[in-house]
Amino acid sequence: MIWVAATLIAATAQTVRNAAQAGLTRDVGTGGATAVRFVFGFPFAALAFVAASVWMPLPSPDLRVIGWASLGAVAQIAATAFMLLTMRDRGFGIATALMKTEPVTLALIGAVILAEPLGPARLGAIILATLGVVLASGASWSRAAWGPLASGVLAGALFGLSSIGFRGALLALPDGGYVLRAVTVLTITLGLQAAIMLAWLALGDRAALRGIVSQWRISLGAGALGAFASLFWFIGFALTPASNVRTLALVEVVMAQIVSGRVFRQTVRPVQLIGMALIMAGVGWLLVVAAG
C-alpha cells in the first residue's frame, strides 16, 4: 500500500504549497501565482532527474510518453483556468466542492481510455466520498447559477483528464521502477508546463512575469513544494488507478475543516459533520476494495 503513503504525503505538501501560492496572488496576480508551481517547480524536477541518472539508468521516453504527458500538462493548465473562473463567479466553497467531483469523472474516463476496471464497489466508494465533499463544503447551492456550476464540473473533469494523462505516461514507459518513472514523467510534464506558462506571461502579462521574478524567494519555496507534491502524486499514479489516489486525497477536506475549527474557531454545521463522516466512510471503503 505504498500508494496510500505517497498520496497522504502529496496532499500534505500540496496544502502547504497552496498557502504559499495564496500569498503570492496579492502581489503577482492569479496568472503569476499559477505559473509559479510550474516555472519554479521545473528546476527541482530537473535536479531530481539528473541526480537519479547518476545512480541508475532512467527509462527512455518515446512519443507515446510525450503524448500522454502533453495531454496531462495542457489539461491541468486548462482545469486551473476554469477553477479560477468558478471561484471568481461563485466563491471558494462552491468551487472547491465542484473541483472535488474529479474522482467520479476520473474513474469514468480511466475506464474508457485506459480500460481500468471500475466495478460497482469501487464506483460506490468514490461517489460516497465525493458526496461527502459536497456536504462538507458548507456551500450555499440555492443561489448557484448554471454557468459557474458547468465551469466547475468542467474543471473537475479536466483535472481528472490530466491525471489520466499522467498515469498514461507512467504506464507507457518501457522500464524502470515506480520512483524512476515518476521522476521522468514529472520532469517532462513540468518542462512542458513551464514553457507554456512562460510564453503566456511573456505575451500577455509581463507585469506578472516581473512580479514572480522579484518574489523569487517565495516563488522558489512554492515551486519546490509543488514539485515535491507532484512527485508523490506521480508515485501514487504509477502504483494504482488515478481515481484511487484522488479519492484518498479527499481526506484533505476533513483535515482543512478540523484546522478551521480549532485554529480559526470557525463553526462547523451538522451537515458538514455528516459530509466529513461520508468522506471517511468512502475512503475507508475504497481502501478495503483496493486491498482486494
| Count: domains in the chain | 1
Express each pLDDT in 173-226 by its tens digit.
988 888 999 999 999 999 999 999 999 889 988 888 888 888 888 888 888 988
255's grid cell: 483535515
Rounded Cα distance between 110 and 242, Å, is: 8
Residues in the chain, total: 292
Q: Which domain holds residue 223?
A: 2-291
Beta strand ranges found along the chain (DSSP E): none
Q: Strand, coil or helix: what is 6?
A: helix
Radius of gyration from C-alpha coordinates of the chain: 19
Residue 193 to residues 21, 40, 76, 202, Cα–Cα distance (Å): 17, 11, 9, 14
Cα dihedral sign, 59-164-191-213 = negative
Give yes or no for a contact between 172 and 68, defined as CB atoms under 8 angstroms apart.
Answer: yes
Whole-structure pTM value: 0.80
Express each pLDDT in 25-58 by its tens digit.
677 777 787 788 899 999 999 999 999 888 888 7
